[in-house]
Structures are given as structure tokens and as C-alpha cells.
Amino acid sequence: HGQVQEPTTHNQSPKWHRNGIKKPLSQRYKSLKGFDLRKIHFAKKYHKKGWKKMQAIKTKILKGPDYKLSCLAFITLPNLGKRIQSYMARGHRLCQPKPKVQTKAEVKAPAKVQASASAQAPKGPQAPVKTP
């Protein structure tokens, strides 16, 4: 068969969509077709000024090598802790005191100390004890 085969689109659609139909990636920069670039320059310039005012309002963590300073920032500025990453959260939960776990021997010892202390000196105002 010496005939040359014409290329067809038979069975091409499944091949094209082997990796699924993807959404178009969002554009990083808007297309500036048909824009007056001089006007855009001014618009951007004044937009930046407003943006700087907004940035000043936001609270920021002190940048630096000192780890403890950044921990303190999370305590003093609680709104930073709301958006904290889970991998960072463990070190920054300094504000919450952890309950101490007592062993059985430790539980018995304070009870004895309290009993002996109450026998020695009762607290508060007491009626005078009459001796016969």
C-alpha cells in the first residue's frame, strides 16, 4: 500500500485529556492591550500610596535571629497567633500554663503536711478556750 495516510483526529481527544482538563493558570499580570500607559502610571502611583497606609496598620513580628523575641510577639499581639502555621504553633503556645501531673507519692505527702499544719495552728478567729 503505497498511499500516504492523512493524519486524522481519531482517538485524539482521550490522548489530549490523559492528565485531566486543567483550568487556565491565573495571569500574574493583567494584559495591558488598548490601555493608555500614561494614565496607568498615575493610577499605579496613587494606588501604592493607599497601600502603604494599609500596611502600616498591620501588626508585624520583629525579624531577627532571636527566637524568644518572636515568641513574645505572639503573646503580646494575639491576632498574629490566629493565622499561625501548625508546624510553628507548638513553640509559640507559651501563654497557656500546662497542668502538672502528680505521682501517687506526691499526692499523699502534701495531705500529711496539711493535716499536721492544721493541728498545730488553726487559722482564723477562734473562741477563747476556757481552762478549768
**Residues 83/60, Cβ–Cβ less than 8 Å:** no
Q: Which residues contact 77 (CB under 8 A, 6 or more apart)?
A: 59, 61
**Residues 89/80, Cβ–Cβ less than 8 Å:** no
Q: How far apart are CA 74 and CA 21, in angstroms?
A: 43
pTM for this model (two decimals): 0.20
Q: Which residues contact 45 (CB under 8 A, 6 or more apart)?
A: none
pLDDT digits (tens, 9 = 90+) for 2-32: 788 889 999 999 999 999 998 887 777 777 7
**Opening angle at CA 97, ends 109 and 118, nearest 5:** 30
Range 97-124 average pLDDT: 60
